[in-house]
Amino acid sequence: MKGTVKFLNIRKGDTVVVLSGKDKSNKGKVIKTIPTAGKVLVEGINMVSKNLRPTQDMPQGKIAKREAPILASKVMLICPSCHQPTRVAHRLVEGDKSVRSCRVCNETIDKV
């Protein structure tokens, strides 16, 4: 279903590790999430070359390196407390507030 919002366990600012592909086992910080496509943009991961047209500022043009989106299923969150790749559990605290927690060490990932 194109255009539907998918629920991502990864948020902007999280540190993730790549599970498969050309950047396997590399770590990076999430710059942006794209829930409608189920993708994330990770700093320094999945770099592509972009040809920029010549302008008055750059008469020669330029070949720029940029990050391309990667599927969210191909990355795994690194827990800030135990520093290990982990799956995410959702727990209720203070009655009805849901927070993300680590399945390895059971510490909360989100600030309460």
Contact 77, 89 (CB under 8 A): no
Please, what is the Cα angle at 6 between 2 and 12, to 5 degrees? Answer: 120
pLDDT along the chain (112 residues), means of 10: 80 96 96 95 96 93 95 95 94 88 91 69
Q: What is the pLDDT of residue 1?
A: 57
Q: For the whole model, what pTM was predicted?
A: 0.83
Where does 1-78 sit in CATH, by number? 2.30.30.30
pLDDT tens digits, one per residue of 70-84: 999 999 999 999 999
Q: What is the pLDDT of residue 111?
A: 75
The domain segmentation of the chain, as residue ranges, is 1-78, 80-112
